[in-house]
Amino acid sequence: MAELTRDEQISILKEKLASAKSVAVLTGAGISAESGVPTFRGKDGLWKQYRATDLATPEAFAQDPRLVWEFYNWRREVLKPLKPNPGHFALVELEKRIPRFTLITQNIDGFHHTAGNQNVVELHGNIWRLRCTGCGTVTEDRTVPLPDLPACSKCGALLRPDVVWFGEMLDPTILEAAYEALQFSQVMMVVGTSGIVQPAASMGMNAKRQGAFVVEINLEATPYTGVYDLNIQGKSGETLPLLL
């Protein structure tokens, strides 16, 4: 069979979305990179002489919370002036058109909320939320920069970013919401994700096994390219608006 052109693939996906009652979308760093967010794995993924993977751990926070907060304050400063891009806004528009729409994201930048999506499952947390290490209270705070060692207004204990660090478990309730969306989705789009970090990496296959039509939209090939029903190469900020 002749390989489909990009236009043909987009046309097929538009048809599928037009008749779908339930859609799940998984987004990764690629969609945010188009808004100027440095990626963990990209060439911009370094901070001072540290690797992000060395600082975003419970061990690093226990050992030197000030250093970890310095890193997160820097990340918040980088994110503060950035805005959602046309890819984010296209997903907001899709959510309005589809009866059951779930947006699962690996990103912690909060852009999907800012853009206007309602049903968002944040697998790895949100950098604008703070969690108390004492009483567990979670609050949103967009102050930049925060104090070196921010304290809880309720109990005075040290606050930490409400994100999932390397070596930590994902919140079971959030994971359950994601898997429930996959179970019911007729169409699933996997957008801007490298397909390396589990459990998100295998969510597309999970949906496919349950009968969903699965489409990958990514700048480059991933381990799942060729396995999904469609693989549309290109920027999500250019591709997603075409679906409207």
Please give the single-letter amino acid code of residue 48.
Answer: K
C-beta of residue 75 within 8 angstroms of C-beta of residue 30: no
Euclidean distance between CA atoms 71 and 95, whole angstroms: 34
C-beta of residue 148 within 8 angstroms of C-beta of residue 40: no
pLDDT confidence of residue 195: 85
Assigned token pair, 65: 């919370």
pLDDT confidence of residue 2: 66
Assigned token pair, 46: 């370094």
212's CB contacts (< 8 A; 6+ apart) are 24, 182, 185, 186, 187, 188
pLDDT confidence of residue 54: 81
- Residues forming CATH 3.40.50.1220 domain(s) in the chain: 6-37+84-124+170-243
Global pTM exceeds 0.75: yes
Q: 139: how many CB neighbours lie within 10 A of its CB?
A: 14
Assigned token pair, 145: 């920069």
Euclidean distance between CA atoms 161 and 72, whole angstroms: 8
Euclidean distance between CA atoms 44 and 18, whole angstroms: 38
DSSP codes, 22-61? EEEEEE-HHHHHTTTPPPSSSTT-EETTEEHHHHSSHHHH
Please give the single-letter amino acid code of residue 178.
Answer: A
Mean pLDDT by 10 residues, the chain (244 residues): 87 98 97 86 58 86 96 94 98 98 97 98 98 98 96 97 96 97 97 90 96 96 92 96 96
Give the active site residues. Answer: 124
CATH class for the region spanning 6-37+84-124+170-243: alpha beta
Evaluate whether the domain defined by 38-81+126-163 bears CATH number 3.30.1600.10: yes
Please give the single-letter amino acid code of residue 66.
Answer: R
- Residues forming CATH 3.30.1600.10 domain(s) in the chain: 38-81+126-163
- HSE of 222, CA atoms in CB hemisphere, 13 A: 27
Assigned token pair, 102: 């779930």
Classify residue 30 as exposed, middle or buried by CB count within 10 Å of its CB (0-12, 13-18, 19+): buried
